[in-house]
Amino acid sequence: DGEVYKYYADGEWKKCSSGKTVAIVNPTTRKTQYKVQACSQEEVNKVMDLAKSAQKSWAKTPLWKRAELLHKAAAILKEHKAPIAECLVKEIAKPAKDAVTEVVRSGDLISYCAEEGVRILGEGKFLVSDSFPGNERTKYCLTSKIPLGVILAIPPFNYPVNLAVSKIAPALIAGNSIVLKPPTQGAVSALHMVHCFHLAGFPKGLINCVTGKGSEIGDFLTMHPGVNCISFTGGDTGISISKKAGMIPLQMELGGKDACIVLEDADLDLVAANIIKGGFSYSGQRCTAVKVVLVMESVADALVEKVNAKVAKLTVGPPEDNCDITPVVSESSSNYIEGLVLDAKEKGATFCQEYKREGNLIWPLLLDNVRPDMRIAWEEPFGPVLPVIRISSVEEGIHHCNASNFGLQGCVFTKDVNKAIMISDAMETGTVQINSAPARGPDHFPFQGIKDSGIGSQGITNSINMMTKVKTTVINLP
Ligand code: G3H
């Protein structure tokens, strides 16, 4: 009936006082796999107090020591990759191989963060006053970067380990403490990851992980006066968080409708390979997945044929077998995807494959001749269903891309680099990839969305900077 996991606070594993739990349903078996504690608001209050006091002494811990502990955590995390990956397989149906990659990538991210942190935070600025009109050289200004305090980290289900450490590691190196609220699907993987930080020997109360129902502790956490910064990745809940949060820095990444614009001169084999990787890896459940193909009419038939040949080769089945397409995260997600598919059918899209679903397992589907009146032209399925819109000019493609309320990434395929740069400049997205599918990594690259796709910029360097504030001391000379 599901193993019950404790939450983590004050350096200890605890049961919540109510005895209530939250069930984690395995997307493949659709049975309860694990249970986690349903923390109450009082328990959250205690955790906030702990995080606040632990942060004070952590901020005084030498930077090199903070880095040393992070390197230790990174090594332990990599040693624990097998059991954590197993949880990812059971909780979020991530293919076994990709689950291991997620953990290893997370270890690398932590180490890089430690290295980058000692460089960025090891430097300050020195300014003199007489560069500004009317001033003599009587003031020396010293600047440094100081921590914000308690960082609330809320990662999504699709990378419960990696998108947790991408918040935790920059926060810690910069001298902040952490309250982590993992997604329900992925909570046990996140608790295992936290265990690695525990083994590394971080001070008590510095890293805390509370699990529970969003309806009970979600708003309570995000509106908590003890929180000094929120780093959130997920869906449109982020928009409501941004409206309710206090006067604190926010870092948010809230999904996308990443377009793939294909020009007439594109290498169609390269495009097809990238559409498969970009559109169907982890069954399309990535914010950076290719979510609409905008292809020039003259090459559309040839491209669709090439993509279809590759779709036919995708394996479909359980994550334990390393299938390419695995069950999507929940029944509600499957129903939502099905809604988009049925809408497209009713409005006359061309089905390149037969629509097939068993439980949460949805077979990969390419929908050709999609038109703007279909929901799938604009909404993100977060599933293995990809619409193709045929365009008669580059401008039409850019227009469709920019008409979206999202603006995360996009990609353009052409051999003409000048054209590619002009299209990139015209696309209203945080990043444009030329001749490759959208992706967040390498993890030190800036990563940001505009419009409903987010606030602020991520990536290791930007996150470290974002989780600090500037402090200045001015020496006034006689
Ligand atoms: O789902 C959102 C992630 O930030 C995407 O990361 O491009 O490495 O899959 P990824």
Give residue-wise pLDDT tens across range 235-269: 999 999 999 999 999 999 999 999 999 999 999 99
Q: Number of helices and strands (H, E) in the chain?
A: 14, 27
Say yes or no: CB of residue 289 within 6 Å of ligand 1.
no
Determine the average pLDDT of the residues in 66-89. 98
Say yes or no: CB of residue 441 within 6 Å of ligand 1.
yes
Q: Which position among 253, 264, 297, 380 bears the catalytic label? A: 253
286 CA from centroid of ligand 1 (Å)? 5
Closest atom, ligand 1, to C-alpha of 286:
1
Say yes or no: CB of residue 440 within 6 Å of ligand 1.
yes
Q: DSSP states of 216-279 as a string? A: IIIHHHHT-TT--EEEEESSTHHHHHHHHS-SS-EEEE----EEEEE-TTS-HHHHHHHHHHHH
Determine which residue's CA is closest to atom 2 belonging to ligand 1.
287
- Of 106, 109, 94, 445, the C-alpha closest to 281 is 94
State residue 222's pLDDT score. 98
Determine which residue's CA is closest to atom 6 belonging to ligand 1.
440
Does 361 have pLDDT greater than 80? yes
Q: Element (H or E) spanning 119, and its range?
A: helix 96-121
Residues constituting the chain:
478
| Amino acid symbol at 419 | K
Cβ burial 399-411 (10 Å sphere, 16+ → b, else e): ebbeebebbbbbb
CA dihedral 47, 51, 53, 54 (to 10 degrees): 130
469 CA from centroid of ligand 1 (Å)? 27
State residue 248's pLDDT score. 98
Whether the complex's predicted ipTM is more than 0.90 is answered with yes
CA distance linking residue 75 with residue 71, whole number of Å: 6
Is 253 known to be catalytic?
A: yes
440 CA from centroid of ligand 1 (Å)? 5
| Amino acid symbol at 303 | L
CA distance linking residue 118 with residue 71, whole number of Å: 12
287 CA from centroid of ligand 1 (Å)? 6
Residue 325, beta-bridge partner list: 316
Q: Which of 106, 440, 444, 462 to mutate to test the pocket of ligand 1 (most atoms within 8 A of CB)?
A: 440
pLDDT digits (tens, 9 = 90+) for 280-339: 999 999 999 999 999 999 999 999 999 999 999 999 999 999 999 999 999 999 999 999
Closest atom, ligand 1, to C-alpha of 440:
7
State residue 3's pLDDT score. 85
Closest atom, ligand 1, to C-alpha of 163:
4
138 CA from centroid of ligand 1 (Å)? 50
What is the average pLDDT value for the chain, to the nearest integer?
98
Residue 434 near residue 266 (C-beta atoms within 8 A): no
Say yes or no: CB of residue 288 within 6 Å of ligand 1.
yes
CA distance linking residue 176 with residue 447, whole number of Å: 21
pLDDT band at 2 (very low <50, low <70, confident <90, very high): confident
User: Exposed, middle or buried: residue 233 (CB in 10 Å: 0-12, 13-18, 19+)?
Assistant: buried
Say yes or no: CB of residue 158 within 6 Å of ligand 1.
yes
Say yes or no: CB of residue 287 within 6 Å of ligand 1.
yes
- How distant is the alpha carbon of residue 30 from its chain centre? 25
Peptide bond into 442 cis (omega under 30): yes
Exposure of 439 in the CB half-sphere (CA atoms within 13 A): 15
Residue 257 near residue 403 (C-beta atoms within 8 A): no
